[in-house]
Structure 1
Amino acid sequence: METWDYVVVGAGSAGCVVARRLSDNPSMRVLLIEAGPSSKTFWSNVPAGMAMLIGDERFDWRYMTEPVPALNGRRISWPRGKTLGGSSAINGMVYTRGNRRDYEHWVSLGNPGWGWTDILPYYKRMEDNVRGANEFRGQGGPLKISDAAPASRAVQAFIEAAHRCGIERVDDLSVAGEEGVGLLQATIHKGVRQTTYDAFIAPVRHRGNLDVLTEAHVARVLVEGAAAVGVEVIENGKLRTIRAAREVILSAGVTNSPHILMLSGIGDAEHLGAHGIRARVHLPGVGKNLQDHVGAHVKVQTRPGWSHNRDLRGWRKYREGLRYVVAKTGYLGASATLAAAFVRSSSKVDYADLEIGFRPMTFSQAPNGNILVDDCDAISANVYRVRPASRGEILLRSADPLQSPAFHANFLSAPEDQEATLSGLRLIRRVLSTDPIASGIVGELQPGPEARSDEQLIEFVGKYGKSSYHPVGTCKMGNDALAVVDARLRVRGVNRLRVIDASVMPTPTSGNTAAGTTMIGEKGADMILADAMDILPPT
């Protein structure tokens, strides 16, 4: 049996960070395990290549939810990265920290040390922001943060129209943790996607104390007595045992971390027993508390010159491709969403509970998740409730580690989520009917001018609503009955085992969740080192 000091499962948005920071100490031997392969293809470097990567079984787990009642019983595509970099290798690259009050809420739920002032140093440490350092931004860290480009005519018009509707402009929208409207930043460097693997692992891959194992599927955590001692992996169809002298860290994501725990006998005892798995630790919260950002797009037809669609279809897409290959510029070098407004759905809400994202283009998604640019001049804005009340769960289908679990997403099951979404759709219409953006719009394509009543708009959401691919919460931290890890991310009832990824968020950050997941990797790694070597966190 092979032994490392630390075994990190999952080379994604958090796992790459954890492995890098642990290996910064040359006396620690670290193994990073990834179920997928390297994703180094042409499209994996191109920001717009996400349309080619999502749905590709080489790099995407291609998960589907169970039928969602509030979405007309549809099964919803739920891509998750299966490659070095994890979901940071196939996501939209949008970089937002969420609202500073999100983190104070985490503290109120029994998680000391996770307030805004506690986590801000970790955000700044990990960032190399093109705008330079200030009280919010970091510079000199591994992860390159750039301004989303190009900030075209339509993008600027959307921001101005939102401002005229009473939404305050925020210059540092991605990092300041405030409400308002502005440009979004992205994990793109000189026109190339920056995954957490690119940022944190690739520069130190040569280290003698850091090993990376790809195409190895972790079947379970090995537990002896009350402690995790390693993992069992399936590699080339054969079982392999890997030992951890210090700790096992699950960074396999919102779907796979709870799945691995359950396969290891850590979860709800009754549910495990139904699949013939002996419960080592009864933790009923494993797989529970699933939350995601779910919403719908408003699409409007525009006059020529307002939409990117024309440049991304037909012969023009080859011109854009050449432009990108030669100079790494143009529409292929842009992130998925270029501007956003964080607003309140009503005056009763304490702080912004809606994100309205703007795109100077439109696309349609096939049932299998494939993405195609629409064949017309059009732009779009989508809305979702950033702190949903709806809760779902992840359950086992069987004890077979190669069979995916069942995802009962329960999207929009809470009436207040539907009400907030309706408010957001009406606000989008108000912004798009306000100059200067209104002058470029010909008419509404989706949901269409005939959809006016609440009932008609809810019907529209049921037909077209989809996940924004920001699931969190299935191994939440806290001290209540459903908490899976404590505030130091240690699995309750099992020594030497932690979960460090988006599954530990008790509630999602108010915006795209990739940045928060990377921060959790930074803070989690420091907790491991502090517990092992009495190292203090950054100040």
Structure 2
Amino acid sequence: MTVYDYIIVGAGSAGCVLANRLSVDPSTRVLLLEAGGSDNNPLFSMPAGFAKMTKGIASWGYSTVPQRHLGGRVLRYTQAKVLGGGSSINAQVYTRGNARDYDGWAADGATGWSYADVLPYFKRAEDNQRFVDVYHARGGPLGVSVPVNPLPISEAFLRAGQEYGMPYNPDFNGARQEGVGHYQVTVRDARRCSTAAAYLKPIRGRPNLTVLTGAYSTRIVVENGRAVGIESVRGGQGEIVRAEREVILASGAIGSPRLLLLSGIGPADHLNAVGVKPIHDLPGVGEDLQDHLDLYAIAECKGDFTYDGYAKLHRTIWAGLEYLLFKRGPVASTLFETGGFWYADPAARALEWPDVQFHLGLGSGIEAGVEKLRNAGVTLNSAFLRPRSRGTVRLASGDPTAVPLIDPNYWSDACDRSAAIEALKMAREILRQPALEPFVMVERMPGVAATSEAALADYAYRTCKTDHHPVGTCRMGTDQLAVVDPSLRLRGIDGLRICDASVMPRVTSSNTNAPTIMIAEKAADLILGKTTLCAPQSVNTERNVLNILESKS
């Protein structure tokens, strides 16, 4: 039986970071287990490869259970199954959220996770192409850049957002979050910079690091109240590997609670109901699932102003050559590289805490399940960022191969529905601004005839989709439903930590990949017993960070 110091389950956005940081000491033996395969397919490195990812490449093929508050709809629920995890298949948008998100975590019991506590870890991860200031740094593993060749319709969208009333913002991760602008993206030298590329590939030669793909973890081995190993299946053969120091789950907001439940760790009544013997009754496992629900408007363009036309064979070939020869063109685009943050709730505006996010899609039908127009189109996604609805992850049975029951419970809180529809109205108004008039012919979805609240709600029920931001199912805190403590140690079992998006107490007001990488960066210091980094303790808001740190520089 092979023995390691640390076993990391899941080589995703967090797992690759942990593998890098924990294996720095050559005397420390680290095993990284990944159920999926390698990221060698060229689609993973091409920024525009995202268009293929939500359609099934390198994913588990999950769906939600029927959503009670969406008319019983079942939604596709893409979860990555590849080295790099979500960072290998996402739209590469690099947003961190708002300072108030993290201060809220700390206020809820996640001591040590305020904005002042996490900002240094965002910076440690980052190799920013453009910004080096109190918010950003160069020299980290993660390449962060700006779009290399934004289309004229993207620039027109920036003007349209300003005509609507949103200020231009060159840096959503800086002094303020609100406004409209180009996103920073996890792209370096026109190639996707996943955590597999940034953190794992450069260190694959370390003799103390073992990476196993195709290893499907089925159980955490617990002896005398301590996690001592992982049972997995690889190539049809079962195996148990042991950890002398810690077992670390980094399988995400679906995978981590699934493995805990299969191991008998979770709500005892649920475990008994599905035939799993409880070994530790921990009611919070699989609870508090939070996600951003996306509503979108699609307009038909007056000409070939987006990337829809590149679906034709001869243009696809030309786009590929342009990318290979010059590192530009459609293939170098992340397809959702422009957007903004604004307000549905006046109270959010008073706090300077945006609760709506927009992503401009340079085409139609980019994501799975979204209608593609016959002619060129443009899509504007809108998401309400702070949902009150909470869902669950549960087992269908004790069979490790059974698909988990994923229930985001979208719109169980009526406030989420009203805010989401308000965000959709805003998206439609932005597309109607004068700056976009030379590009946009007519709105096709929901369509100009959809004017009543009832019509918009009906459209939302039929077309809404996940933004792929699940969090919270192994929430950190100090209350009885918290699954991990603020050091990310599982409550009640020694030698077991969870380090991924599942520990977030509340979903961030943004995409969740950058916060997940930050969690892993900070977790590495916690695991190794290092003194954690921190900005000045008196910092509570983004603006205070700017004022205090600049006064010291």
TM-score bracket, shorter-length normalisation? over 0.9
Deviations 1:290-319 (A, max 9, x none): 011112110111221432212343432221
- Aligned ranges for residues 302-341 of structure 1 at < 5 Å? 302-341=301-340
Show CA shifts across 1:374-407 (max 9, x none).
4312111111111111111011111111112111
Q: Specify the SS of the correspondent of 1:243.
A: strand
CA drift of 1:216 comes to 0.5
Q: Do 1:390 and 1:414's aligned partners in 2 also have CA atoms closer than 8 Å?
A: yes
Please give the alpha-carbon distance, in whole angstroms, between the structure 2 residues aligned to 1:336 and 1:87.
Answer: 17
Q: Partner residue of 1:180?
A: 179
**Structure 1 residues 388, 446: closer, same or farther in 2, change over 3 A?**
same
Letter of the structure 2 residue corresponding to residue 20 of structure 1: N
Name the stretch that deviates more: 73-82 or 46-55: 46-55
Show the counterpart of 1:108.
107
Residues 39 and 54 of structure 1, relative CA distance in 2, 3 Å threshold: farther
In structure 2, the partner of 1:380 is: 379
Structure 1 runs of 4+ with >6 Å offset = none
Q: Secondary structure at the match of 1:94?
A: coil
Q: Which residue of 1 aligns with 2:543?
A: none
| Structure 2 equivalent of residue 273 of structure 1 | 272
Q: Does 1:244 align with 2:247?
A: no
- Which amino acid in structure 1 is aligned with residue 28 of structure 2? M
Residue identity in the other structure for 1:159: L
| Counterpart amino acid of residue 360 in structure 2 | F
1:522 matched residue in structure 2: 521
Change (3 A) 1:239 1:524: same
Q: Distance in 2 between matches of 1:376 and 1:55?
A: 21
The one-letter code matched in structure 2 to 1:53 is: M
2-structure distance, mates of 1:86, 1:441: 36
Task: Output the amino acid matched with 1:30.
Answer: V
Q: What's the TM-score, normalizing by structure 1? A: 0.96
Q: Secondary structure at the match of 2:443?
A: strand
Give per-residue Cα distances to partners, 1:254-283, cap 9 Å, x unaligned.
111000001111100111111222212111
Task: Say if 2:335 and 2:362, in contact at 8 Å, map to a contact too.
Answer: no
Partner residue of 2:357 out of 355, 367, 371: 355
2 CA distance for matches of 1:145 and 1:246?
A: 34
1:402–1:176 distance in 2 versus 1, CA, 3 Å? farther
Residue in 2 aligned with 1:403? Answer: 402
Q: Which residue is equivalent to 1:467?
A: 466
Could you tell me how far apart the structure 2 residues matched to 1:364 and 1:85 are? 22
Is the 8 Å Cα contact of residues 298 and 446 (structure 2) preserved in structure 1?
A: yes
CA distance in 2, matches of 1:364, 1:137: 31
What's 2:505 paired with?
Answer: 506
What is the CA-CA distance between 1:366 and the residue it aligns to?
5.0
Identify the residue that residue 5 of structure 2 maps to in structure 1: 5
- Look up the match of 1:86: 85
Tell me, in whole angstroms, the C-alpha distance in 2 between the residues paired with 1:132 and 1:445: 38
* Secondary structure of residue in 2 paired with 1:233: strand
Q: Give the Cα separation in 1 of the matches to 2:458 and 2:131.
A: 46
With over 3 angstroms needed to count, the CA separation of the structure-2 counterparts of 1:89 and 1:175, relative to structure 1, is: farther
SS of the residue corresponding to residue 180 of structure 2 reads strand
Matched-pair contact (CA < 8 Å) for 2:116–2:534: no
Q: How many residues align?
A: 532
Instruction: Report the alpha carbon displacement of residue 360 of structure 1 after superposing the two structures with TM.
Output: 2.6
Give the stretch that moved more between structures: 1-10 or 409-418. Answer: 409-418
Structure 2 match to 1:51: 51
Paired-residue identity, %: 39
Equivalent residue, structure 1, for 2:210: 211
Query: What is the letter of the counterpart of residue 361 of structure 1?
Result: G
What's the offset of the Cα at 1:538? 6.4
Deviation at 1:39, TM superposition (A): 2.1
- For 1:424, the equivalent position in structure 2 comes to 423
Q: Deviation at 1:18?
A: 0.8
Residue 153 of structure 2 is matched in structure 1 by: 154
SS at match of 1:277: coil
Distance 1:276 1:310 in 2: 52
Q: Could you tell me whether the CA contact under 8 Å between 2:117 and 2:534 is conserved in 1?
A: no
Q: 1:442 to 1:36 in 2, by over 3 A?
A: same
Letter in structure 2 aligned against 1:521: A
Q: Residues 70-98 of structure 1, C-alpha deviation per residue, up to 9 Å, x if partnerless?
A: 33322111111111111111111111001
Equivalents in 2 of 1:237, 1:308: separation in Å? Answer: 43
In structure 1, how many angstroms separate the alpha carbons of the residues matched to 2:150 and 2:366? Answer: 22
Which AA in structure 2 matches 1:496?
Answer: G
Describe how 1:130-141 pairs up with structure 2 within 5 A. 130-141=129-140
C-alpha displacement at 1:239, in angstroms? Answer: 1.4
Cα gap change, 1:20/1:177 in structure 2, threshold over 3 Å: closer, same or farther? farther
- The AA in structure 2 aligned to 1:357 is H
Gap runs ≥5 in structure 1: none
Q: Tell me the secondary structure at the aligned position of residue 78 of structure 1.
A: coil
Matches of 2:433 and 2:156, distance apart in 1: 9
**Displacement of 1:105 after TM fit?**
0.6
Alpha-carbon distance in 1 for matches of 2:525, 2:368: 42
Report SS of the residue matched to 1:95: coil
8 A Cα contact 1:36 1:84, kept in partner: yes
Residue in 1 that maps onto 2:67: 68
CA shift at 1:333, angstroms?
A: 1.1
**Counterpart residue type for residue 378 of structure 1:** G
**Larger mean Cα displacement after TM superposition, 277-286 or 70-79:** 70-79
After superposition, what is the alpha-carbon deviation per residue over 1:115-153, rounded to whole angstroms, capped at 9, x for unaligned? 111101101110101104111112100010111232221
Root mean square deviation, CA, Å:
1.6
Report the CA distance between 1:40 and its aligned residue.
0.6
Q: Is the 8 Å Cα contact of residues 51 and 366 (structure 2) preserved in structure 1?
A: no
Q: What is the aligned partner in structure 2 of residue 442 from structure 1? A: 441
Q: Report the secondary structure of 1:363's partner residue.
A: coil
Could you tell me how far 1:535 is from its partner in structure 2? Answer: 4.4
